[in-house]
Structure formats: structure tokens, C-alpha cells
Amino acid sequence: MRHLRAELATLNRPLTWAVMTAAALFCVLLAIGGADNARRAVDDTGGGRSPSCAVMRLPAGPACAQALAIQKRRIEEEHAAGTRAAARTAAQLDPIAAGAEAAGLMASLPGALAVSLLAGGHIGGEWSGRTLKNVLTQNGRRLRVVAAKLVSLWIAGVGLVCACWTCLAVAGPVIRAADHLPDPHQPTHHAVTWAGTQFGRSLVVLAAFAAIGLLAGVVTRGTIGTMAASAAIVLAMLIAATLPALGRWTPATWVQGWMGFAGGQESIGSLPDNFWSRFIDTGGTAPGHAMGLAGVTGLLVTCAVAAFVVFRRLDVTG
């Protein structure tokens, strides 16, 4: 615990606060854009008028009346769909349910890139700053050093979710009121369950992202190298998921299955709850929660063990 506290203390640096601020700002700006999109969708369909018989080039009579009825029904259906979408967006901006939005964003590409930046400073920076030798002098057990690095980086990732959730909880109701979004009539217990479930699932994904950053750090042994390698690994995961032969058997699809992200274009709405599924084409349904958990856990363990094996053999005396 002493070493973990020391690692957490080293995270109190400008880079960490800058990344957390940027992540929270991203979440709020995304919410503003999503609410505006939802409002526009309602406005664009709410004032629609059916074209006249002359515009449709039909003579007045039963045929024109039937065409007008079809047009009116289509406009009403579009308006109802826009209203439902706006209500879903309003539900996402509920102070409690905003936790699900924050967890989904940080357990996808934005969170992975943010953790990559944190790993560069926290892990790769030990080599760039030539401070690792001092760390090992104080605690010669390399396993403890690696474990403390991993856990502290994971805690920083959880902090990203908490920062986004806090900002959305404050800004969400204001944004919802400013855009006059409809009341979603969402029960509190549903919001608590939704947010709690997604937050809990994101903890495993963030641990996997931290393990990737740890492995990249001990392999590249530099700040920039760690950031670049971590981001490259995540992007490679997403690219691999687009290959027809791999599809369902990649780390990216395991994350999708565990988090319960909707597949493909279904994940794109007025206010996206993740930036992950849109890049994946599994050629069918995504893996279930059980398979996703097994895959993400396997990725976490594999990266953590590989990082320890590499770190144990490194010469850090130079």
C-alpha cells in the first residue's frame, strides 16, 4: 500500500489534470451537440406540412386524398420517432444516468486514448526522466512496482469516468432545459441500475486499457513511445475487428460485448454512448456479456503478465 500511495502521488501532475479536464470537457461538449441534434430532429419533423394535390401532380379526388393521408401519417411517424430519440437523449443527461454515458465514453476510444496519454507520463516517463532506478532502490521487488503502476493507472482511468460523470451531472439538466427536450419519465431505480451496471463494467475495460499502457511502457521505455504504442494497439484492435475472418474473436468485440454497446450504425444516435461499435463490423451479433468478460479479462491478464516478464528482464541501471 505504501508503494501504491507513492505511485498515486506521482500522478498528481499537470498532465493528469490536463487529461481529466479534457475528458470532462469532451463529455460536456458532446452532450451539448447531442441535445442540439435531438432538438433539431424534433423541430424538423414537427412543423411538416403535407404537399398539396397540385404539388403531387394529382387531380383533386380520392387518389389525392389517399396520397395526402399517407404523407400525413409519414410526417407523424417521423415526428414521433424524433420525439422518442429526444426523450432518450434527455434520459442520458439525467444526473444519475449520466454515469452510464460517462462510463461508455471512457470504456471506448476516448478513454483508451486518454489512458494512453496517462501511461506515457506515468510509466514511460520513468525512463525518460531516469527515475526508475530510484524507485527500484526504494522497493527492489519488481512485481510490486509493476502492480503499483498498473493499479494506480487504473485508478486514474476510473477518475476519468468520475470526472465526466460529475460534469455531466451538473451540466446535463441545464443542457436538457436549454434545448427544451421532452421529459423522459425515467424512474430513478432504472437510472441507478443503468448507471451502476455500465460503471461496473467499465472498471474491467479500464483495467485492460491500463494493462495495455503498462505493456507499452515497459517495451518502448519512453514517454512518447508509450503513448504512441498504446494508441496503436487500441487502433489495431479496432482494425482487426473489421476483418471478416476475425470479427467476433478480437479484443475490440469483447469490449463491445461486455459493455453491451449496440452494433454498427445502431450505436450512432443524437448523443452517442460510445465511440467503439461504429468502427466494428462483426458480420453478425456481438459476443454476449459472458464471452466479452472472459475476453477482456484474458486481455488484461495477458498484458499484465507480459509486462512483468519484460520488466523483470530489463536493465534499469543505466
Q: What is the pLDDT of residues 159-211, one digit of tens each?
A: 999 999 999 999 999 999 898 888 888 899 999 999 999 999 999 999 999 99
Q: Is residue 4 scored above 90 in pLDDT?
A: no
Q: Is the pLDDT of residue 240 over 90?
A: no
How many Å apart are CA 71 and CA 146, to the nearest integer?
65
Going from N- to C-terminal start, the domains of the chain cover 2-37+95-313
Name every residue whose Cβ is closer than 8 Å to that of residue 210 and which is 6 or more positions away in sequence. 115, 119, 150, 153, 154, 157
Q: How high is the pLDDT of residue 133?
A: 63
Asked if residue 51 has pLDDT above 60, the reply is: yes
The mean pLDDT of 249-260, rounded to a whole number, is 90
pLDDT at 210: 97
Would the pLDDT of 5 be above 60?
yes
Exposure of 196 by Cβ count < 10 A (0-12 exposed, 13-18 middle, 19+ buried)?
middle
**62-92 and 14-46 helices, crossing angle to 10°:** 160
Composition of the chain by helix, strand, coil, percent to 5: 75, 0, 25
**Higher-pLDDT residue of 262, 214:** 214
Q: Record the pTM.
A: 0.86
Question: Alpha-carbon distance 35 to 27, whole Å?
Answer: 12
Question: pLDDT-derived band of residue 83, with 50, 70 and 90 as boundaries?
Answer: confident
Whether pLDDT at 158 is above 80: yes
User: How much is the pLDDT for 216?
Assistant: 95
Tally the residues of the chain: 318
State the CB neighbour count (10 A cutoff) for residue 92. 29
